[in-house]
Amino acid sequence: MDSRALYQEMILEHNKKPRNWGVLADATHKAEGLNPLCGDHIHVSLKLNGEQVEAVGFEGEACAICKASASMMTVAVKGKSLADAEQMVQEFRDMTTGKLDTAAAPHHLGRLTVFAGVRDLPTRVKCAILPWHTLHAAFAGSDTASTE
Ligand code: ZN
């Protein structure tokens, strides 16, 4: 399967069945993310146990790219240390803005590399990045993240 087809399939699959959907009742950190350009509006909540991401959830109104990115993000960071999760935030941001070539450089993104193609679609980059900005805001203790 080529990368374009894999991308389409992952987007469809995660929209049909978003992982970790919902707000955690016992969240220790949460943030709201806004992408006014597209209308994406999500809530990310997480439960930190010491330095470990024990649980993470998201919900909101978002386009297919944003929702799939958020769903895959929650799967990727669950169980990770705070430092590893922040590293992924940085790498995802660098990949989608073209600063990280995941085919050439070492990274920890795994299947999230299906989003590498959005770097050629400037209007969709913000949709893909929003969940990661919001996760970062939650870690940092801020209430909101905006792509603008
Ligand atoms: Zn969007």
Q: From the CA of 50, how far away is ligand 1's center (Å)? A: 33
Q: From the CA of 124, how far away is ligand 1's center (Å)? A: 6
Q: From the CA of 73, how far away is ligand 1's center (Å)? A: 15
Is the backbone of residue 24 left (phi > 0), alpha (psi -120 to 50) or beta?
beta
Q: From the CA of 36, how far away is ligand 1's center (Å)? A: 9
Q: From the CA of 106, how far away is ligand 1's center (Å)? A: 28
Q: From the CA of 62, how far away is ligand 1's center (Å)? A: 6
Q: 60-75 pLDDT, tens per residue?
A: 999 999 999 999 999 9
* Amino acid occupying residue 100: L
Q: 85-118 pLDDT, tens per residue?
A: 999 999 999 999 999 999 999 999 999 999 998 9
Residues 6+ apart with CB under 8 A from 24: 30, 45, 46, 47, 55, 56, 57
60 φ, ψ (degrees, to nearest 5): 150, -170
CA–CA gap between residue 4 and residue 86 (Å, rounded): 27
pTM, two decimal places: 0.95
Helices 122-140 and 82-96: angle between axes, nearest 10 degrees: 160
Under CATH, to which class is 3-141 assigned?
alpha beta
- Using the predicted structure, report yes or no on whether residue 35 has a pLDDT greater than 90: yes
Please tell me the predicted confidence (pLDDT) of residue 27: 96
For 20, 134, 136, the CA distances from 35, given in Å and listed in that order, are: 21, 10, 15
Residue among 83, 82, 105 at smallest CA distance from 94: 105
Domain boundaries, the chain: 3-141
Instruction: Kindly indicate the confidence band of residue 4, based on its pLDDT and cuts at 50, 70 and 90.
Output: confident
Please tell me the predicted confidence (pLDDT) of residue 92: 98
Q: From the CA of 130, how far away is ligand 1's center (Å)? A: 8
CA–CA gap between residue 66 and residue 127 (Å, rounded): 5
* Mean pLDDT calculated for residue range 122-131: 95
- Using the predicted structure, report yes or no on whether residue 9 has a pLDDT greater than 90: yes
Q: From the CA of 103, how far away is ligand 1's center (Å)? A: 25
Instruction: Kindly indicate the confidence band of residue 143, based on its pLDDT and cuts at 50, 70 and 90.
Output: confident
Instruction: Kindly indicate the confidence band of residue 1, based on its pLDDT and cuts at 50, 70 and 90.
Output: low
For 33, 37, 67, 108, the CA distances from 47, given in Å and listed in that order, are: 18, 29, 20, 22
Q: From the CA of 48, how far away is ligand 1's center (Å)? A: 28
Sheet strands (E) in 37-122: 40-49, 52-61
Letter string b/e over residues 55-73, b meaning 16 or more CB atoms within 10 A of that residue's CB: bbbbbbebbebbbbbbbbb
